[in-house]
Structure 1
Amino acid sequence: MKKYPSYIALFVVLVLSSCKKEEATKPKVIYENNAKSKTVMVADTTQIEVADLPITMEGTNFMIYPIGVMSGNAKSIKSDSEPSFTVSNYGEFQITGYLKNLKFQEIGKDTIYALTDKQVLIETATYLKSVADKTNQQLLVYSLADMDTNKDGKLDNSDIKSLYISTIAGNKFTKLSPDLQELIDWKIIESKNLLYFRTVQDASKNGAFGRNDIVHYFYVSLSDKEWKPVEFFPLQ
């Protein structure tokens, strides 16, 4: 067997390492000098949308259809890449995936309608079961991308994640986190019926999020008719 010189192997390692480093340091935000300038997201006509079979959260009266994009090669049965018709996973009252939308249908009715008409990429949709048990409020909390923040012409998991909330019926779909702030995490304080979350702001304007940027803290009263985040300052 022919052996390649060691310097060729070293070259390959360096190239791969460089590619991985470039991918890892790709900015999540690109700031434009012209505030009116917008990057147009071009629809990928090769993508085939598919809906998973409906999901019903325990104790609710609505079915939820995850809507995503078929992966693999769906055009040829002879392809090495078999198509996947599944776009989501479900467990512990949470739907996960890279979803373009969710659609809702009240049990016993024929109408199916979309959560939003905006371009989004939903990574998680979580049913607040503990809140429903204590207050009879049936709510969904979402982590998703809603802006092409890195200006690459597409919406994907390289863009900033935001926090949203809606009713179990998909109504009152409301953004909670500020624009251009990356969602860190969120949690529910059941005894107070409050949703707490943290975001990080790119204070250095370098397009990435690091130790020198600003962490913001918010809470939202789920008892209020309008879900309005209130910023607080636990470090002061």
Structure 2
Amino acid sequence: MRFNFNYSFLVVLVLFSCKEQEEKPKVIYEESATKVEAKVDTTQIRVADLPVHMEGTSYLLHPVGEVRVYDTKSKMSYGSSSTSRVSYAVSNYNRFEITGFLKNIYIQHIDSVNSRPLTDKLMVIQTATYLNTFAQKTKKQVLVYSISDMDTNRDGKLDANDIKSLYISDISGDKFIKITPDFQELIDWNLMEVKNRLYFRTIQDTNKNGDFDKDDAVFYYFVDLMDAEWQLNEYKPFN
């Protein structure tokens, strides 16, 4: 009986330890300002999905991401037999929205053979949404992005476990700007067409414990999409 109790206790202790290791905070604060370099995964190659055309625009969007390829130490050949082991898809497309874990989006005018990157910075683009109804109403073509752009948990890699921010650009990729403050996690956003505004909420780790919880502050913002500067405005929905 004593042996069974000790064994059970040991199992619980191991499971608890594993759980503790898995639950990592989204933000880690350190006194050192040393920049954390992202680790390079040599098993991954960069590929682009086939282009996406948002209806009513003059641009093609090429989602770019990475796929993991394992060395089978065998002679590779072209054809279904050599490619079936790897999925080369890096994104999904639902009408007017691209999703995935993208390293970049290359943008190409339909009358050009050249494309250019949306950004020259290290990022993980999780969504890119075209505001179609807003474009039909105002003739202004805008893309909204949710992006991880900083290794906020300092694990040496940039991924969905880091803080997610909100970005915006026009359909050509110009005016690509971040509109959420640094170290504020995007909760959600919504287009309010009656006001031509993009409303969104964020949460900040105000008690600096590394997690987002009930003791942290929620912030409310909007951007007037008719404003040429896309200035950030904070508002308070209640007192």
Indicate whether the TM-score tops 0.5.
yes
Question: CA 1:83–1:14 in 2, change beyond 3 Å: closer, same or farther?
Answer: farther
2:26 matched to which residue of 1?
A: 28
Say if 2:43 and 2:70, in contact at 8 Å, map to a contact too.
no
Q: Tell me, in whole angstroms, the C-alpha distance in 2 between the residues paired with 1:132 and 1:171.
A: 16
CA displacement at 1:13 relative to structure 2: 6.8
Question: For residue 15 of structure 1, what is the amino acid of its counterpart?
Answer: V
Alignment of structure 1 residues 7-156 onto 2, 5 Å? 15-16=14-15, 18-23=17-22, 25-34=23-32, 36-71=33-68, 73=70, 82-156=85-159
Question: For residue 178 of structure 1, what is the amino acid of its counterpart?
Answer: P
2:197 matched to which residue of 1?
A: 194
Please state whether the residue corresponding to 1:126 is helix, strand or coil: strand
CA displacement at 1:121 relative to structure 2: 0.2
Question: For residue 70 of structure 1, what is the amino acid of its counterpart?
Answer: V
Question: CA 1:32–1:106 in 2, change beyond 3 Å: closer, same or farther?
Answer: same
Over the aligned positions, Cα root-mean-square deviation in angstroms equals 2.3
Please state whether the residue corresponding to 1:19 is helix, strand or coil: helix
Farther off after superposition, 92-101 or 10-19 = 10-19
TM score, norm. by length of structure 1: 0.89
Please state whether the residue corresponding to 1:83 is helix, strand or coil: coil
Question: CA 1:75–1:160 in 2, change beyond 3 Å: closer, same or farther?
Answer: farther
CA displacement at 1:107 relative to structure 2: 0.3
| Alignment deviations for residues 170-195 of structure 1 (CA, whole Å, 9 cap, x no partner) | 11110000000000000000011000
**Runs of 4 or more above 3 Å deviation:** 5-18, 74-79
Question: CA 1:157–1:139 in 2, change beyond 3 Å: closer, same or farther?
Answer: same
Say if 1:73 and 1:82, in contact at 8 Å, map to a contact too.
no
Please state whether the residue corresponding to 1:188 is helix, strand or coil: strand
What are the ranges of 5 or more consecutive residues in structure 1 without an aligned counterpart? none
TM score, norm. by length of structure 2: 0.88
Please state whether the residue corresponding to 1:122 is helix, strand or coil: strand
Question: CA 1:86–1:74 in 2, change beyond 3 Å: closer, same or farther?
Answer: farther
What are the ranges of 5 or more consecutive residues in structure 2 without an aligned counterpart? none
Question: CA 1:14–1:84 in 2, change beyond 3 Å: closer, same or farther?
Answer: farther
CA displacement at 1:86 relative to structure 2: 0.4
Please state whether the residue corresponding to 2:44 is helix, strand or coil: coil
Q: Tell me, in whole angstroms, the C-alpha distance in 1 between the residues paired with 2:85 and 2:11.
A: 30
Say if 2:45 and 2:69, in contact at 8 Å, map to a contact too.
no
Say if 1:127 and 1:139, in contact at 8 Å, map to a contact too.
yes
Say if 1:74 and 1:83, in contact at 8 Å, map to a contact too.
no
2:173 matched to which residue of 1?
A: 170
CA displacement at 1:39 relative to structure 2: 1.3
